[in-house]
Amino acid sequence: MIVFLFLLVILFILLMMAVSIYNRLVRLRNNRQQAFADIDVQLKQRHDLIPQLVDSVKGYMGHERGVLTEITEARSNAMKATTIDEKIAAEGRLSNALAGLKVSVEAYPDLKANQNFMDLQNEISDIENKLAAARRFFNSATKELNVATEVFPSNIIAILFNFKRETMFELGDQRATAEQPPKIQF
Amino acid sequence: MFPLVFFLLTWLFFFFNYFQHENYSVELVNRNFLFTIPWITIGVIIWFTIAWFSHSAMIRAATDSRPLQRNENKRVYNLVENLCISAGMTMPAINIIEDDSLNAFACGIDTKSYTISLSRGIIDKLNDEELEGVIGHELTHIRNRDVRLLIISIVFVGIFAFIAQALLRSMRFGSLGRGKKGGGGYAFLIAMVLAAVGYLLASLFRFAISRKREYMADAGSAELTKRPLALASALRKISVDPTIEAVKRKDVAQLFIENPGVEDKNRSFSLGLLFSTHPPISRRIELLEQF
């Protein structure tokens, strides 16, 4: 009788442990999903700022049609992208286009004196930094989830309830394009 | 954290049991003990409650700081915001202390009251990377809920102080004096010694906790920013001039990133080090460079 009760208590304890591990996995997965959505917040802010930037530049950089059209096209591309890979590719193209603009602006001292333009430029730089920070957080949330799905006690629960190892934010195919310096057209 | 509290609490009871063991007239001791305990508990609870609710206002008044708006100093605001995003933390409030010397601290015990205060000197004299390191250090303090731990440990040190006082008082006015003459004096001495030892050990404990947390905050900052050398160089610049003239109170001073109270930086080991709230800067810089 005593042995039976003892086993029951042990079973209860194990059950409690399993429940807490499962809950932890759920939290980690949701953290990662939120981190992913937060990246989109930054991306959207960038999309919203770009038309203003292009407008403020148009008057000065009439000859730099190429750079401006590239930015506008890249932006609409990014807003249309649906799958993750498409998004990564489109946003990468947009980042490149913006970097190209920054370089081209060097040739226009009048533009650099325009306070409005400098403010917008700083805002976009800040958004790029925030984007990087959001991606770093996404990666660390992914790492935590991956570790939890692989370490010993939790991997049992993970397999039982279908928690898989997830991918980090990686450049993948885009790495080759990203590693090239932005094109400078004069 | 709570195991720590529990440890201190059991320690407290251990001391009382020890005390009762040595005494001859146990019933008298028990009665005195039970009489004084409610007062001590009430006193501590009141102390705790006051500290909990008003400490950020007290600190702001003690250091003469005011909140910082984003448009006032975008550079600082963006540094803090970006670091918070990369850590997945909600942003704390930012305060600025109008003082030329370099120092910074974090305070706050819940999401609504978390605040980071930076001095004007530190904002102007450090470059972006170094300032990021300092902010990372303070954010790690917030993430580890260090101020809450500090308040709890200070309260416990206070409990021991209170008990020492209460024992003294109950001995003098209580009925123990009427017991066996030799017995009464003996018990009194033991009580004082135990209370003093308890107070001393609790204090040492509290300072050790504070030092360990400083190391952890340094490590947290290095992990957050991935640039430990930036924080090392910031600490070097800070060690030159950390004293904020307006701040005299020792209690507040120990929350700062560097406590100017410890003068003995050159000696490798001194008794003063055991009682300092911050580890020596040279050691902190060493550890960061090895990261």
pLDDT, one tens digit per residue, over B39-91 is 666 766 777 677 666 666 666 666 677 888 777 788 889 899 999 998 888 88
Question: How many residues are recorded in chain B?
Answer: 291
Residue A166: CB atoms within 10 Å? 16
Q: Which residues of A touch B88 (CB under 8 A)?
A: 31, 35, 137, 140-141
B81 touches chain A (CB under 8 A): yes
Enter the pTM of the model. 0.73
Mutate to test the interface with B, among A30, A136, A142, A145 (most CBs of B within 10 A): A136
∠ CA B155-B160-B164, rounded to 5°:
140
CB contact under 8 A, A130 and B87: no
Closest Cα of chain A to B4: distance in Å?
23
Q: Which residues of A touch B87 (CB under 8 A)?
A: 137
Q: Which active-site residues of B does the annotation give?
A: 138
Phi, psi values for residue B96, rounded to 5°: -125, 140
Buried b (16+ CB within 10 A) or exposed e, A54-91: bebbeebbeebeebbebbeebbebbeebeeeeebbbbb
Closest Cα of chain A to B8: distance in Å?
28
pLDDT of residue B269: 44
pLDDT of residue A172: 58
Closest Cα of chain A to B41: distance in Å?
35
Q: What's the rounded mean pLDDT across residues A100-127?
A: 82
Contact between A20 and A153 under an 8 Å Cβ cutoff? The reply is: no
Q: Which residue of A has its CA nearest to B88?
A: A137
Beta bridge partners of B94: B116
pLDDT digits (tens, 9 = 90+) for B156-165: 677 667 666 6
Closest Cα of chain B to A99: distance in Å?
20
Q: Which residues of B touch A143 (CB under 8 A)?
A: none
Average pLDDT score, chain A: 84
Buried b (16+ CB within 10 A) or exposed e, B183-215: ebeebbeebeebbeebbeebbebbbebbbebbe
Q: Which of B74, B78, B88 sits opposite A137 (nearest CB)?
A: B88
Tell whether the model's pLDDT for residue A13 goes beyond 90: yes
Q: Return the higher-pLDDT residue of A15 and B4.
A: A15
Closest Cα of chain A to B122: distance in Å?
22
Q: Which residue of A has its CA nearest to B87?
A: A137
B71 touches chain A (CB under 8 A): no
Q: What's the rounded mean pLDDT across residues A68-82?
A: 86
pLDDT of residue B247: 44
In A59-167, which ranges are continuous DSSP H helix? 65-80, 84-105, 109-113, 115-150, 152-160
pLDDT band at residue A182, thresholds of 50, 70 and 90? low
Residues of chain B with pLDDT under 70: 1-41, 43-44, 48, 51-63, 156, 159-160, 162-191, 194, 241-276
ipTM above 0.85, yes or no: no
CB contact under 8 A, B85 and A35: no
Of A73, A160, A91, nearest in space to A128 by CA: A91
Q: Give me the residue spans of the domains in chain B.
A: 2-55+162-205, 65-147+208-289
Q: Which residues of A touch B78 (CB under 8 A)?
A: 126, 129
CB contact under 8 A, A133 and B82: yes
CB contact under 8 A, B88 and A136: no
Q: Which residue of B has its CA nearest to A138?
A: B86
Most confident of A103-117, A171-185, B116-130, B268-282: B116-130
B66 touches chain A (CB under 8 A): no
Contact between B68 and B125 under an 8 Å Cβ cutoff? The reply is: no
Taking the domain A35-179, which CATH number applies? Answer: 1.20.1440.20
Percent of chain A with pLDDT over 90: 23
B87 touches chain A (CB under 8 A): yes
CB contact under 8 A, A134 and B83: no
Of B116, B131, B133, B138, nearest in space to B75 by CA: B131
pLDDT band at residue A14, thresholds of 50, 70 and 90? very high
Taking the domain B65-147+208-289, which CATH number applies? Answer: 3.30.2010.10
Mutate to test the interface with B, among A137, A144, A145, A169 (most CBs of B within 10 A): A137
Beta-carbon pairs below 8 A across chains A and B: 26
